[in-house]
Chain A
């Protein structure tokens, strides 16, 4: 039985599933170009008479999407950079250096991996309040980095464990410190782990809702998901604004994924399995 014989029947059989799963996207994109009247009466998948690009302009301006995207980007870059700075050295120490209390630290990090952030939200808010970090992007970055630290450390550690000790011995003979070994030997050969950490922390930060909901109260510091929810409830009856605003919220990341499909897929599966 050749592969080619099986390919097209299976692809054909999967097409209804594909249509059902992607229908929400198609429907939203089509509707986002309609007039209010067209949304009210016609078949959900009828093509609009004129493409109403105005909807996007209106939504962008009224919803302040420029600021929301900007805040989300600052948030994302902050979390990704800080996650690498904190998790790579800690993962290295846990993988390659023996020190007292290592087992205990390990259990402490497992605890953080398990306990949902919703379960610690009241003291978390109090800590942020005490440090004057409520309603600041610095606050949300620090909390999200801390939240991702257990996973990030496990990911880096499990990758570093597989690096042969001989590399460390050789570097030591050349007089390198642990920090130099980490930055000059380990990190350059750890692209898959770094890539997984970057993709997973970027995606979860970009999409996070719960922590921003607690920390970012004023509209001018809010991130994209939070801003969209506020926008959609304020303009709930203006469907064309809600639809185009929603498309603005998901389109960039979907285009990015389609361009970098392989990296995303590798990063996510690697991360899930290693971490």
Chain B
């Protein structure tokens, strides 16, 4: 071990000399120490994240009918099966819709409230705290809460609509196939917007005050200041919030699982809920693994696209 470490640090000092000019804040090249400092994190991460990532690929080329049965190699059969499975396509479409709803509703509400709240001085902390409250509730608990809000008989929504004379709008919010995905997403977005609002508020605080003074000197009104100063100043935060909202949306599971379990007629099935159904209920691990890879590819694509976009903006 000592010899190995010595060899590494010798190699390191060579590298250090080679890179002396391009220092990025590093000060020493003790590779052995680095390894020991990384060891606890690496061990856990390797066993519970990296190994499962690799194993998911392997699983997608195998067929197995449960956790206790042995797998057999089937090549691309699972992938072919995925292409011909209509629920796979449904869950994919629903996932895209789900992301769009979440970005527009949670991100949009976060932005609007941030713009309003950041103008307050005396009552700002009060409004910020109050608007953030839903974000503290577990998405599973949010599912339970909103399942009761949407309850056709005792639910808050239908009762309130009836009482304000809008009884014509009452409906089975979770039983209508055309409405169910949006209804569940409203619950998720109610929980999610608070964090986006905080991020937008932080972004607003970073806009250079003098830009507003300059705009005022040029005779800009409030609306023009919003369009020409505030919104451009928020571009970087916006890309960050949109990517965060999409990644969060992609992980969406708990509200759907609790409120509808994907129904009615698979109309609220997402990729994540279908993975769970396949893996833990119908025990089709091969097909589930293909969906896992699809989900990972979506997440990686979103991350890369938004990082590029952000890099271009901050130039």
Contacts and interface: CB of A to CB of B under 8 A. Distances in A.
Contacts of A100: 8, 11-12, 15, 31
A123 B56 contact: yes
Given A121-B292, A232-B144, A269-B199, A225 B190 contact: no
Contacts of B253: 118, 209-210
Binding site of A, secondary structure by majority: helix, strand, loop or mixed? helix
Tell me what chain B mostly uses at the interface: helix, strand, loop, or mixed.
Answer: helix
A209 to B, nearest CB: 4
A178 B130 CA distance: 44
A165 B138 CA distance: 41
B83 interface: no
B171 interface: no
Nearest to A15: B127
A226 B140 contact: yes
A109 B45 CA distance: 9
Nearest to A6: B119
A142 B48 contact: yes
A146 B288 contact: no
Interface stretch (B98-106, B156-164, B227-235): B156-164
A250 B141 contact: yes
A105 B163 contact: no
Contacts of A147: 48-49
A73 interface: no
B251 A122 contact: no
A56 to B, nearest CB: 16
Contacts of B202: 269, 273
A229 B258 contact: yes
Nearest to B216: A1
Contacts of A207: 136-141
A272 B254 CA distance: 22
Interface of B: 8, 11-12, 15-16, 19, 24-31, 33-35, 37-38, 40-42, 44-45, 47-53, 55-56, 59, 67, 113, 116-117, 119-123, 125, 127-134, 136-141, 143-149, 154, 156, 159-160, 163, 190, 195, 198-199, 202, 240, 244, 247, 250-251, 253-254, 257-258, 271-272, 275-276, 279-280, 285, 288-289, 292-293, 295-296, 299-300, 303
